[in-house]
Amino acid sequence: MGLHTMFCRGARALTKIKLSMSPFCVLSSEPYRVIHDRKQRRFIIRLDDGGKVQSAVLKYSYRSDGHLHLLSTQVPESFRGKGVAASLAKAALDFVVEERLKASISCWYIKKYIQENPRHGYQVHTED
């Protein structure tokens, strides 16, 4: 059982996800530690930029029909091109797959990540 599964598994309905689970899940996405903040509906990576802590964030919302909507990925400029956005995208999409959810995607980067990683089965859980 992986770290993600131990902390995040168990809820099937969105109401259960929001009410019965811890608001934070720590996901191990090498080489970055991804935090799933369920209350604020975002995945976060804290980054040390020479003593100054910055955050990379992937934001999502729940649509009225119970689907997840992956909205945006924001990475500080000094960390772009270093796999930070990929770690966020992987954590969010793995969450969608493991919880057997469907997701719509507005973020161009997440769409690109899915195209570049077809073996993970993300297409089955996403829609345009």
Q: At a CB cut-off of 8 Å and minimum separation 6, what does 27 contact?
A: 3, 4, 7, 8, 33, 34, 35, 36, 43, 91, 94, 95
Give the pLDDT score at 75: 98
Structure tokens at 128: 């345009």
Give the pLDDT score at 23: 55
Q: Which contiguous run of DSSP H or E holds residue 95?
A: helix 84-98
- Rounded Cα distance, 71 and 108, in Å: 9
Q: What are phi and psi of 42, to 5 degrees?
A: -160, 155
Q: Is 54 exposed, middle or buried (0-12, 13-18, 19+ CB in 10 A)?
A: middle
| pTM of this structure | 0.77
Q: Cα-Cα-Cα-Cα dihedral of 87, 59, 37, 103, to 10°? A: -80
29 in Cβ contact with 87 (< 8 Å): yes
Domain of 66: which CATH number? Answer: 3.40.630.30
* Average pLDDT, consecutive stretches of 10 residues, N- to C-terminus, the chain (128 residues): 32 35 54 92 94 96 86 96 95 92 95 90 86
Give the pLDDT score at 65: 77
Give the pLDDT score at 106: 95
Q: Domain count for the chain, please give it.
A: 1
Domain that includes residue 35, residue range: 3-127
Give the pLDDT score at 68: 94
Structure tokens at 42: 């975002």
What does DSSP assign to residue 25? E
Give the pLDDT score at 10: 33
Give the pLDDT score at 120: 80
